[in-house]
Amino acid sequence: MTTVDRPTPPVRTHKAERTWVGKSIRRVEDPRFLRGRGGYIADLVLPGMLHAAVLRSPHPHARIVSIDTSRAEAAPGVHAVVTGAQAAELTDPLPDFGPNPAAHTWRCLAVDKVRYVGEGVAVVVADDRYLAEDALELIDVEYEPLPPVVDPLAALADDAPLVHEPLGSNCAYDRTFEFGDVAGDFERADVVVTDQLRWHRSGGQPLETVGAVAEHDPATGGFRVHTNSLSFTSYLFMVATALKIPANRLDIVPMPAGGSFGSKLFVTKPLVIAAMCARLTGRPVRYLEDRVDNMANCDHHGSDRHYDVRMALTRDGKITAIDIDTVDDYGAYIQFGVGHHGNALAQVVGPYTIGSVRYRVRAVLTNKNQQGAYRGFGSEVNNWMLEQMVDKAARELGMDPVEIRRRNFIRSFPHFIPTGNVYDSGDYDAVLDKTLELGRYEHWREVQEQARAEGRYIGIGLITAQERSVFSATEFWFWFDEPGAPVTSMPESVTLKVDATGAITATLYSCAFWGNSPETMVAQLVAEEFDCDPHDVSVVYQSSKNGLPATGPGGSRTTVMLAGAVEGASAKIKEKARRAAAHLLEADPDDLEWRDGGFEVRGVPEKRKTLSEIAIMLHLFKHSFDEDVESGLEESKVFDHPYTTMPSADRKDLGVFYPFMGHACHLPVVEVDVETGVVTFLDYAAVHDCGTLVNPRSLAGHIQGGTAQGIGTALYEEFVYGPDGQLQTTSYLDYPIPTSLEVPELKIGHVETPSPWTPHGIKGGGEGGRMMAPAAINAAVNDALAPLGVRITELPLTPDRIRAALRAAGHGS
């Protein structure tokens, strides 16, 4: 399936010369953070504010026989103690996009039974956090332990204990999708490569945990809630329902997030707990997770997958089909449904011309903290699986990893992949060429050769993979035959105000700062439009109540969507300013052109009005203009997703849902100490193409930082549940996060293939590092161990796993 005749949006022409877009300016956000004045959720203190703490279950699976809170209630400084049963009276279930929410109901505290170690069973509200934690120790809970469901494959057995009895099974979702002639392609294949792969769960682990400060207004019954959870306009309606109030009685105020990496996208539980407690006590309440909450009870562990994969190829290395069967361990609840696999399906064939795909996904519920979002949202797992298969195929066919990739690259765009999603643009050869040069591929192959002769094991990993951006919500409902909705528009909005002095303020909706640079990015885009200094643009965040339609960050959509909104609002401002300038210059509006911060009569530079000259007239001297002109110079734009289409009724074509496709090539060089299984980096090159760059230094920061997280995923980080269901990694002593000495300095390169369909040709690029690094590092380690006949198919590649594999291959000591 190459270029197909399907309707696509009109191709845009992009400005050739840009002043601010593409420039590495200092971030406008930074001075306040550098001074320790970030204004995070923990810094917010309201008069009379109380503090909540949650009692976590010590059992993976147990019936709650009784809870006695009397001793806790009597403890000093305690204002309220709420059990799960009481919370179920005060609130409705939490938002859930799972397949059958009525049968796997998720609440802010456990009611009849606990389903994982760390699940909340009661909450204490006290004068401070110390006193709240004192009272937690005085709550007496009697549990009746039940057999835990830990292994997702065992959980599928008919006689397995059930995590949710009403569901009648631990399998929340099971469906096989077929795109193209899979059976035929396998029948015609010269070679079929098969493998089993295992990706263990890790998580974003931002250094700031998640929290909310809630105020209740008894006069209206409404709430004002401050939170560092990000996509608040998306979940507002659902948490209002959980709080049993009309949505227009809830105002959510965004706070900057001290890192998210996906894990603060929707964090609805802390908000509902804080609000419930505020209403109960009549006082503002802060609930802020501590680190153990954030590790054990955060609802945002990452993917946890088993794969059985078959790949069909011709003898000369052309991949024709892939057949994927995955079991994903979702934990005790399934708040986002199987959206993570929608992410995978957006780029399931990678950068390759694979013609047919079978994809079976089984979502299994177990006694673990549930999955949420983590940088990549499941597509990084697909990248890893696919690249592992390509490397295995290359090995079996005796091909070089570079050669097999070139043999299969897509080279004509737009390209519709078998699932129906589209790749808008790309130049995969250019990215690969640049990486091979930057990473000194040939040099390292020579070094590797010499090292092997000396009994040292150096490995070179090479992967070429996709980074989808700007998601559309269809991926959350194309799983079912009955569409829940038509195609989704997923808008973002911006208001631009030019005040009487000509200074510009941009207002952002459903957007908070989370380590990305929304302010800098918007300031650069505004400066590009109005020829001003981005550092002179003021950017403010609006709370939900005064908000325009907006979706919020997620799926690397913010830059493209806000660029569209800025472009649209700017056009409106310029149109009004053009008319005003024409009036003031007594010229025809059509004769005016925008030049260097103002409108001038084409060819007559002395006849011009600057934006500030126009602005002051429009603000203060409206009567100078025609009757239909209103005072002021302020415009908003609601920008809808530029390109998304319906799935077909039979789900043989899922439509376009992730059209702006970035691409990258990573080339790490590692040395494996075969005695200890320790992996160290000798070099690392990464080249990314995410269309037109807005701030190259910011993007490089995301590549370096995302790769650091990918290194964590590949080598260090894992939430380990023992066979007894106990979480064995509840602190940073057991969950190792890479320090500066575990992360090499990357050699970073950029290729810019503009998208034909977005403003300036921008694509999203914030997740790429982590979407590539695990695959690349696994490839490098396998390349290092190849002479020993060892290939590892399980992440993270801890010294323990590497040593175990070596021992199994007879390399005991």
Partner 1 sequence: MSTREITLTVNGRRTTLSVEPRKLLVDVLREDLGLVGTHIGCEHGVCGTCTVLRDGRSIRSCTTFAVQADGADIRTVEGLAQGPELHPLQEAFWEKQGLQCGYCTPGMLMRCVEILERDPDPTPQSVREQIASNLCRCTGYATITEAVCAAAEVMRSGARAGTEVAS
Partner 2 sequence: MKPAAFDYAAPTRLADAIDLLVAHADAEPRVLAGGQSLVPLMNFRLAQPGFLVDLQHVDGLSDIRLTDDELVIGAMVRQSTAEESADAAAGAPLLVEALGHVAHPPIRNSGTIGGSIAHADPSAELPAVALALDATMTAAGPGGERRIPAAEFFRGPFETALGPDEILTEVRLPRRPGGHAFVEHARTHGGFAVVAVAVDLAVDDAGTVTRAAIALSGVGPTPIRATATEQALVGTVPDAESIRSAVAATVAVLSPAGDVHGSSETKVDMARSYLRRGIELALDRAASRR
Beta partners for residue 492, in sequence order: 639
Compare residues 56 and 224 and give the one whose CB is closer to partner 2. 56
Interaction with partner 2 in 277-306: which residues (CB under 8 A)? 290-292
- 207 counts as binding partner 2 under rule CB under 8 A: no
259: partner contacted, choices partner 1, partner 2, none (Cβ within 5-8 A by kind): partner 1
CA distances from 153 to 200, 468, 524, 723 (A): 14, 30, 50, 13
Query: Is-cis flag, bond preceding 738, omega within 30?
Result: no
Helix axes 401-408, 428-438, angle to 10 degrees: 160
Compare residues 649 and 741 and give the one whose CB is closer to partner 1. 741
- 698 counts as binding partner 1 under rule CB under 8 A: yes
Number of neighbours of residue 326 by Cβ within 10 angstroms: 24
Nearest in space to 753 (alpha carbons), one of 744, 742, 741, 765: 765
Residue pair 672/457 in contact by the 8 Å Cβ criterion: yes
Token pair 């179920």: residue:
88
Residue pair 252/240 in contact by the 8 Å Cβ criterion: no
Compare residues 84 and 774 and give the one whose CB is closer to partner 1. 774
Compare residues 134 and 767 and give the one whose CB is closer to partner 2. 134
Residue pair 247/223 in contact by the 8 Å Cβ criterion: no
Print the binding letters for residues 694-723 with partner 2: x by CB under 8 A, - otherwise: ----------------------x---x---
208: partner contacted, choices partner 2, partner 1, none (Cβ within 5-8 A by kind): partner 1
Residue pair 534/527 in contact by the 8 Å Cβ criterion: yes
- 438 counts as binding partner 1 under rule CB under 8 A: no
Q: Which of 2, 6, 15, 30 binds partner 1 (CB under 8 A)?
A: 30
Interaction with partner 2 in 79-98: which residues (CB under 8 A)? none
Q: Which of 137, 140, 165, 575 binds partner 2 (CB under 8 A)?
A: 137
| In the complex, least distance from residue 290 CB atom to partner 2, rounded to whole angstroms | 4
Interaction with partner 1 in 128-187: which residues (CB under 8 A)? 130
| In the complex, least distance from residue 300 CB atom to partner 2, rounded to whole angstroms | 19
Q: Which of 135, 363, 708, 779 binds partner 1 (CB under 8 A)?
A: 708
Helix axes 799-808, 768-785, angle to 10 degrees: 30
40: partner contacted, choices partner 2, partner 1, none (Cβ within 5-8 A by kind): partner 1
CA distances from 140 to 57, 265, 462, 604 (A): 12, 34, 55, 84
- 741 counts as binding partner 1 under rule CB under 8 A: yes
Compare residues 129 and 545 and give the one whose CB is closer to partner 2. 129
22: partner contacted, choices partner 1, partner 2, none (Cβ within 5-8 A by kind): none
- 741 counts as binding partner 2 under rule CB under 8 A: yes
Q: How far is CA 656 from the centre of its chain?
A: 19
Interaction with partner 1 in 265-294: which residues (CB under 8 A)? 290-291
- 261 counts as binding partner 1 under rule CB under 8 A: yes
CA distance 296 to 176: 32
What are the tokens at 182?
């899979």
| In the complex, least distance from residue 258 CB atom to partner 1, rounded to whole angstroms | 3
- 318 counts as binding partner 2 under rule CB under 8 A: no
Interaction with partner 1 in 501-530: which residues (CB under 8 A)? 513-517
Reported as type and span, the H/E element at residue 593 is strand 592-595
Compare residues 474 and 517 and give the one whose CB is closer to partner 1. 517
| In the complex, least distance from residue 801 CB atom to partner 2, rounded to whole angstroms | 9
- 742 counts as binding partner 2 under rule CB under 8 A: yes
What phi and psi values does residue 120 have, to the nearest 5 degrees? -70, 135
Where does this chain touch partner 1 (CB under 8 A) — which range of 141-149, 252-260, 273-281, 546-554?
252-260
Compare residues 261 and 478 and give the one whose CB is closer to partner 1. 261
3-state SS assignment for residue 236: helix
The answer for residues whose C-beta is within 8 angstroms of residue 312's C-beta and 6 or more apart is 185, 186, 188, 189, 191, 192, 319, 320, 321, 322, 323
Q: What is the DSSP string of 680-727?
A: EEEEEEEEEE-BS-S-HHHHHHHHHHHHHHHHIIIII----B-TTS-B
Compare residues 352 and 735 and give the one whose CB is closer to partner 2. 735
What phi and psi values does residue 599 have, to the nearest 5 degrees? -100, 135
| In the complex, least distance from residue 176 CB atom to partner 2, rounded to whole angstroms | 36
| In the complex, least distance from residue 429 CB atom to partner 2, rounded to whole angstroms | 37
Where in 283-372 does DSSP place strands (E)?
Answer: 285-288, 305-313, 319-331, 356-365
486: partner contacted, choices partner 2, partner 1, none (Cβ within 5-8 A by kind): none
Q: Which of 157, 676, 680, 724 binds partner 2 (CB under 8 A)?
A: 676
- 206 counts as binding partner 1 under rule CB under 8 A: yes
Site size with partner 2, rule: CB under 8 A? 33
3-state SS assignment for residue 797: coil
**Angle, vertex CA 126, rays to CA 121 and CA 132, nearest 5:** 55
Residue pair 363/99 in contact by the 8 Å Cβ criterion: yes
- 737 counts as binding partner 2 under rule CB under 8 A: yes
| In the complex, least distance from residue 799 CB atom to partner 2, rounded to whole angstroms | 6
CA distance 53 to 548: 34
Print the binding letters for residues 43-82 with partner 1: x by CB under 8 A, - otherwise: x---------------------------------------
Q: How far is CA 179 from the centre of its chain?
A: 26
- 325 counts as binding partner 2 under rule CB under 8 A: no
Helix (H) and strand (E) counts for the chain?
A: 20, 30
Reported as type and span, the H/E element at residue 794 is strand 794-795
Q: Which of 96, 119, 134, 323 binds partner 2 (CB under 8 A)?
A: 134
Compare residues 9 and 22 and give the one whose CB is closer to partner 1. 22
| In the complex, least distance from residue 732 CB atom to partner 1, rounded to whole angstroms | 4
- 259 counts as binding partner 1 under rule CB under 8 A: yes
> CB-based burial of residue 813 (10 Å sphere; 0-12 exposed, 13-18 middle, 19+ buried)?
exposed
Compare residues 204 and 378 and give the one whose CB is closer to partner 1. 204
Number of neighbours of residue 646 by Cβ within 10 angstroms: 16
Q: Read off the amino acid at residue 761.
A: G
Report H helices in 313-355: 339-346
- 533 counts as binding partner 1 under rule CB under 8 A: no
Q: Are strands 285-288 and 50-56 parallel, antiparallel or unpaired?
A: parallel
Q: Which of 335, 516, 644, 798 binds partner 2 (CB under 8 A)?
A: 798
Residue pair 138/71 in contact by the 8 Å Cβ criterion: yes
Compare residues 515 and 647 and give the one whose CB is closer to partner 1. 515
- 129 counts as binding partner 2 under rule CB under 8 A: yes
The percent helix, strand, coil of the chain (3-state, each to 5) is 30, 25, 45
- 803 counts as binding partner 2 under rule CB under 8 A: yes
What are the tokens at 253?
């105020």
Q: Which of 474, 707, 755, 758 binds partner 1 (CB under 8 A)?
A: 707
| In the complex, least distance from residue 36 CB atom to partner 1, rounded to whole angstroms | 2
Print the binding letters for residues 711-740 with partner 1: x by CB under 8 A, - otherwise: --------------------xxx---x-xx
257: partner contacted, choices partner 2, partner 1, none (Cβ within 5-8 A by kind): partner 1
| Positions in the binding site for partner 2 (CB under 8 A) | 129-130, 133-134, 137, 290-292, 673, 675-678, 716, 720, 728-729, 731, 733-734, 736-739, 741-742, 798-800, 803-804, 807, 813
Binding positions for partner 1, rule: CB under 8 A: 26-27, 29-38, 40, 42-43, 130, 204-208, 256-261, 290-291, 513-517, 697-698, 701-702, 704-709, 731-733, 737, 739-741, 743, 745-746, 769
